[in-house]
Structure 1
Amino acid sequence: MKDLFDIRKDFTLKTLDEKDVPQNPMELFETWYNEASQSGIAEPNAMNLATATADGRPSSRVVLLKQIKDNGFVFFTNYESRKGQQLEQNRHCALNFLWLELERQVRIEGIAEKVSSQESDAYFEMRPALSRLGAWASPQSRIIPNRNCLDKMLDGYETKFGEDEIPRPDNWGGYIVVPQLMEFWQGRANRLHDRIQYTLASGKWIVERLAP
């Protein structure tokens, strides 16, 4: 076995103070996201999505943020996937963005709601044709015998639709995660990081500093 005790990096790029942040955390998130996007980070919209079953057994995976709205964060998936099934049982979930190049992360806790079918249709139509076919072909999260099985299903749907419009499957669409808590983490020297937390209470955001 290998010990990892000696892996250390001191963070010194920036600071974060509660007196300098906006009252609405979505404004700060958009500022940080834009800085991450402009810094050349590969896929700055990659986020860890954590879900749980009704009895609290957790699961996590990385998905892509596709839209930032005034009231939350939108991603798309197969509703019959593991995450879709868990969100059906338990709408509480968490997101995490890690932008190491900027020594930052954002942690979000909230409630997931399905977006409208019209919104799901609009995004589905924007996807490349093979991605749309893939949404039909993949029984996401289910056990399959081999890769060849998946390729055959893709070929089958490619033949089925041909040159016709590829409609959105009923079991595929979007969720919006409406935040109830957002924490902004800025790395600092000697592990004394800046942590600013926003908590929603009675429709208003409370801003507080957390100990690192």
Structure 2
Amino acid sequence: MNDVTRVDYTGTGLSEEDVAATPWLQAQQWLDDAVERSQVRDDVPEPHALSVATVDAHGVPNVRTVLMRFFDERGPGFLTNTLSAKGTELAGNDAIAASLTWPAMFRAIRFRGRAVLLDRDEVDDYFVTRPWGSRISAWTSRQSQPATSRSELEAAYEKFAAQWPDTGSPDDVPTPDFWGGYRITCDEVEFWGGRTNRLHDRLVFSRVGDGSLDDAGAWSLSRRQP
């Protein structure tokens, strides 16, 4: 058996007295903290990295990491090729779980709920903000499909780059029909704060009524064993 590296989690955790009134306010506070830390230290290199779990047609879970590109009172959102494995799985079963994890800060946020397709206007508005190369890559990648070689991928990139050269205009590359995104309509949001001796804090907002993540009346707060 390999030697096990043990790290005592020295975070400050999260108490009922300190948690914000709504899951939106608390999540935004922690996200702001992570973004601020990423700007002054190198131990949170991508604060918006979001692990997303779906279920395939056989009931087998699947997880991958994307970038959270939307976050407001409606829930976290991300962009993807809708014909990818995650898109196909969500088309068959819209149940979804996701997490933001910042190990260096001993913090994580877990979201559980249903995936809803983003409006086309939201997708188009975001697509034009991407760098030209990223817009070309959206056309290049048949995400999750088999690839025979790296050279095949690079040849496809060059083909689309020649078709839509970089003019410096945000609309020089059209949005692919298969490129879209999802927002998570949450039923549960858990805040995990690491503490010493593995006595971590887990405070959970559970949906008890209609309303956004910033509607206090829509949520109840409870604590779970670590």
Query: One fold, TM greater than 0.5?
Result: yes
Give the equivalent residue in structure 2 for 1:8: 6
Distance (whole Å) between structure 2 residues aligned to residue 12 and residue 111 of structure 1: 33
Shift of 1:100: 1.1
Whether the 8 Å CA contact 1:23–1:205 is kept in 2: the answer is no
Shift of 1:161: 2.0
Q: Secondary structure at the match of 2:173?
A: coil
Shift of 1:62: 0.6
Give the equivalent residue in structure 2 for 1:196: 203
Whether 1:206 and 2:220 are equivalent positions in the alignment is yes
Distance (whole Å) between structure 2 residues aligned to residue 66 and residue 162 of structure 1: 25
Give the equivalent residue in structure 2 for 1:88: 91
2:18 to 20, 37, 42: 20
Whether the 8 Å CA contact 2:13–2:192 is kept in 1: the answer is no
Distance (whole Å) between structure 1 residues aligned to residue 56 and residue 16 of structure 2: 35
Give the equivalent residue in structure 1 for 2:141: 138
Shift of 1:13: 2.8
Q: Secondary structure at the match of 1:80?
A: coil
Give the alignment's TM-score, normalised by structure 1: 0.95
Distance (whole Å) between structure 2 residues aligned to residue 19 and residue 56 of structure 1: 39
Distance (whole Å) between structure 1 residues aligned to residue 76 and residue 192 of structure 2: 18
Counterpart of 1:211, as a letter, is: Q
Amino-acid identity (%):
34
Counterpart of 2:193, as a letter, is: Q
Q: Secondary structure at the match of 2:128?
A: helix
Distance (whole Å) between structure 2 residues aligned to residue 167 and residue 11 of structure 1: 47
1:123 to 120, 123, 126: 126
1:108-142 C-alpha deviation (Å, 9 max, x unpaired): 11111111111100110011111111111111100
Distance (whole Å) between structure 2 residues aligned to residue 159 and residue 3 of structure 1: 51
Whether 1:59 and 2:62 are equivalent positions in the alignment is yes
Structure 2: unaligned runs, 5 residues or longer: 39-43, 211-217
Quickly say closer, same or farther: Cα 1:21–1:140, change in 2 above 3 A: same
Give the equivalent residue in structure 2 for 1:111: 114
Distance (whole Å) between structure 1 residues aligned to residue 103 and residue 51 of structure 2: 14
Shift of 1:11: 1.8
Give the equivalent residue in structure 2 for 1:155: 158
Give the alignment's TM-score, normalised by structure 2: 0.89
Aligned positions, number:
210
Q: Secondary structure at the match of 1:49?
A: strand
Counterpart of 1:30, as a letter, is: Q
1:55-86 C-alpha deviation (Å, 9 max, x unpaired): 42110011000111111001100000001100
Distance (whole Å) between structure 2 residues aligned to residue 26 and residue 139 of structure 1: 34
1:44 to 43, 47, 59: 47
Distance (whole Å) between structure 2 residues aligned to residue 201 and residue 53 of structure 1: 28
Shift of 1:7: 2.0
Quickly say closer, same or farther: Cα 1:12–1:124, change in 2 above 3 A: same
Counterpart of 1:208, as a letter, is: S
Shift of 1:163: 5.2
1:34-54 C-alpha deviation (Å, 9 max, x unpaired): 001111221100011001124
Distance (whole Å) between structure 2 residues aligned to residue 93 and residue 53 of structure 1: 11
